[in-house]
Amino acid sequence: MVEHGSNKPIRELMLQDNKLIQARKQGSKLLFAVGLFSAFVNILMLTGPLFMLQVYDRVLGSRSNETLVALFILVVLLYIFMGCLDYARSRVMARFGARFQAFLDETVFRASLKSAIVENNRSKPNTGLRDIESIQSLVSSPAAFAVFDIPWTPLFLGAIFIFHPLLGWMAVAGGIFLLIITILNQYLTKKKVIDAAIMSSQANAFAESARQATEVIHAQGMQSAITNRWKQSRDAGLEASIHSTDFTGIFTALTKSFRLLLQSAMLAMGAYLVLKNELTPGAMIAGSILLGRALAPIEMAIGQWPMVVRARNGWRSLEQILAHQPEPTDKMHRTKPKAHLVVKNLGLVPPGEKKPTLAGVNFELKPGQVLGVLGKSGSGKSTLAKALVGLWAPVAGEVRLDGELIQNYDPELFGQYIGYLPQNVSLFHGSVAENVARMVENPDPELVKTAVTLAEADTLVKSLPESFDTIIQNGTGRLSGGQKQRLGLARAIYGDPSMIVLDEPNAALDADGSQALNAAIKTFKKQGKIVIIMTHRPMAISECDMLLYVDGGNQKAFGTRDEVLSSVVKNAKDVTKVIKGGKAS
């Protein structure tokens, strides 16, 4: 709890345990080292001006070759030392960026997967890793050193004041002018940079969705229409990017021109003071060099401003993404649950929606029971499936497995305790064995074979070129919908889950596939597992003990198979004959 007397910003208090803050704190020692190196580098930047001052005021006046050689040797040594320090800080900064990225990569990837569910938008591009790269790129770029160099600007301006107050005030006025330009640049280009990034992201997302639907595009003769749509989006993003770059270019050119003009003005003022015997020629040259060094970090920041904006937006985006990835707590249930499911008054609103798509659902299943969930398309069957496996959190009621609320289980462990076959089966780039074993490294061959056997997918796997070692290229290969469905079922039952949820499991199966599915469900019943099947096909409920009928998101009937069929299906006798006679529908 936050104390009322705390002076910490609320935002910082909310983020104090955030991974971003942890990543920043983890690299604090490296940043301290960079700051220390930068201090020496900036002090050594005085080498050039001081050398000029000595050459013009001492060497030329005394015509001493020995003094010139000694000064030059000293300058060479100092510049070598400065170069080593500059190289060292660039290496340390690069490693800070790499450590920052390595620390966040896994967490952000997991959070990005979670946010796709929370936001109910899987088509949204995964920008989390790109956000990390934008921050890492800024950290590893010269623009990052401007942050460490700008605090030393007063040192160089103070040195100019030592030469002559008039030169000092001229340098301060120039610095203030550049600061104003920097603020204007940030204010006027911010929206343009963000708009350009959004348009570019939209074009890339459209291109990715088109690539995934390439078969439909070619089969339906949509190539020209899709290409034109993508080209319009791409051109809009390119135009926004050019406009943003042009606008930033105005400030960059203005800054550079003004700095050169200011240095010339400094020389002119210095020459005037020399003529009045108020300044030495060496101080005149040294003052001009110091001015350029004082203003260089500001000019660098303005020139790299689009990169700064992208990194800042990336940081804010990561804050939002990581909000979907809470750290597991010790209170989370971690033991494997028994097969006992209780659903009470369940109500659910899909993420991003306002109206509930499921309400008032109540049922209980005990070990070895199979429930068939019937309903028209859009009645809420898939919504119920997502609620049962913990993808979507209920807004009312509760789902308990083995007496424990499912949200109290460790999310990753809970996923290993249950099996889930969605309507659209997704496989991943890897071997058949790895896909069945849920992409774990070095899967147990016996567990994989057991899952494939239970899913009646033995013949399918043996027909593949390298059996279990066959690589599924890009997650699809040349598998048909029914083949993917069977491998998806094998993955769902891998590892002896307590509960198995099947959403339209026979949608892509033929008659033989449906019979194999029923045989697998019969085996699950004998093993004491809970099985829930979302379907609208009579053949899929032949092994069901109980039926739940939903319509418009509301539970209309629940009971034994024959009771529910009699109450909600007009031709219940015909359906029963199909089920018992094994006649596929």
> Residue 206: its pLDDT value, please?
81
> Residue 10: its pLDDT value, please?
39
Distance CA 450, CA 487 (A): 12
Does 78 score more than 90 pLDDT? yes
CB 566 within 8 A of CB 554: no
CB 54 within 8 A of CB 282: yes
Contacts of 571 (CB under 8 A, 6+ apart): none
- Provide the edge-to-edge strand list for the sheet that holds 370-374: 404-405, 396-401, 341-348, 358-365, 554-560, 546-551, 370-374, 530-535, 499-503, 418-421
Closest CA to 251 of 299, 208, 210: 299
Return the higher-pLDDT residue of 269 and 306: 269
User: What class has domain 341-581?
Assistant: alpha beta
| Least confident range of 83-87, 326-330, 385-389 | 326-330
Distance CA 346, CA 344 (A): 5
Q: Length of the chain, please?
A: 585
| Alpha carbon separation from 460 to 177, 444, 455, 457, 500 (Å, rounded) | 73, 19, 10, 5, 22
Does 357 score more than 90 pLDDT? no
Average pLDDT over the chain reads 81
Does 570 score more than 70 pLDDT? no
Question: What token pair was written down for 32?
Answer: 């301290």
pLDDT (mean) for 50-55: 88
Residue 88: pLDDT band (50, 70, 90) is: very high
Contacts of 339 (CB under 8 A, 6+ apart): 365, 366, 367, 368, 402, 498, 499, 528, 529, 530
- What is the SS3 assignment for 316? helix
Contacts of 78 (CB under 8 A, 6+ apart): 44, 47
> Residue 572: its pLDDT value, please?
57
> Residue 11: its pLDDT value, please?
45
> Residue 2: its pLDDT value, please?
37
Give how far the C-alpha of residue 77 lies from the chain's centroid of Cα atoms, to the nearest Å. 47
Residue 413: pLDDT band (50, 70, 90) is: confident
Distance CA 349, CA 331 (A): 26
β 396-401/341-348 pair status: antiparallel
Helix segments in 164-222, DSSP class H: 165-212, 214-219
pLDDT (mean) for 58-80: 89
Q: Where in the chain is the domain with CATH 3.40.50.300?
A: 341-581
Task: Determine which helix (DSSP H) or strand (DSSP E) holds 347, and give its type and residue range.
Answer: strand 341-348
Question: What token pair was written down for 489?
Answer: 């079922």
pLDDT (mean) for 139-164: 86
- What is the SS3 assignment for 45? coil
Question: What token pair was written down for 100?
Answer: 């920052």
Residue 319: pLDDT band (50, 70, 90) is: confident
Question: What token pair was written down for 14?
Answer: 């909310």
Tell me which amino acid residue 130 is: R
Distance CA 520, CA 385 (A): 19
Closest CA to 539 of 563, 521, 558: 521
The winner for highest mean pLDDT among 67-81, 436-450, 558-572 is 67-81
For the chain, what percentages of helix, strand and coil (3-state, to nearest 5) are there?
A: 65, 10, 25
Task: Give strand pairing partners of 533.
Answer: 372, 502
Return the higher-pLDDT residue of 141 and 283: 283
Does 76 score more than 90 pLDDT? yes
Return the higher-pLDDT residue of 136 and 170: 170
> Residue 371: its pLDDT value, please?
92
Cβ burial, residue 451 (10 Å; 0-12/13-18/19+): buried
pLDDT digits (tens, 9 = 90+) for 341-354: 999 998 888 877 77
The yes or no reply on domain 16-322 and CATH 3.30.420.40 is no
Residue 3: pLDDT band (50, 70, 90) is: very low
Residue 581: pLDDT band (50, 70, 90) is: low
Residue 408: pLDDT band (50, 70, 90) is: confident
- What is the SS3 assignment for 53? helix
| Alpha carbon separation from 103 to 22, 80, 99, 114 (Å, rounded) | 9, 34, 6, 18
Is the pTM higher than 0.75? The answer reads no
Distance CA 301, CA 311 (A): 13
Distance CA 428, CA 57 (A): 74
164-198 core/surface letters (b: 16 or more CB in 10 A; e: else): bebbbebbeebbebbeebbeebbeebeebbbbbbe
pLDDT (mean) for 212-231: 75
Distance CA 129, CA 241 (A): 21
Distance CA 568, CA 557 (A): 8
pLDDT (mean) for 398-414: 85
Does 373 score more than 70 pLDDT? yes
The winner for highest mean pLDDT among 84-93, 218-227, 319-328, 423-432 is 84-93
Distance CA 559, CA 556 (A): 11
C-alpha torsion 533→539→541→543, nearest 10: -110
> Residue 477: its pLDDT value, please?
59
Residue-wise DSSP of 209-278: HHHHTHHHHHHTT-HHHHHHHHHHHHHHHHHHHHHHHHHHHHHHHHHHHHHHHHHHHHHHHHHHHHHTTS
Q: Quote the percentage of the chain above a pLDDT of 70.
A: 86
CB 298 within 8 A of CB 128: no
> Residue 123: its pLDDT value, please?
46
> Residue 327: its pLDDT value, please?
57
pLDDT digits (tens, 9 = 90+) for 498-550: 899 998 887 767 777 777 788 888 888 888 889 999 887 766 777 888 889 88
Distance CA 548, CA 538 (A): 13
CB 548 within 8 A of CB 346: no
Residue 104: pLDDT band (50, 70, 90) is: confident
| Least confident range of 84-88, 108-112, 252-256 | 108-112
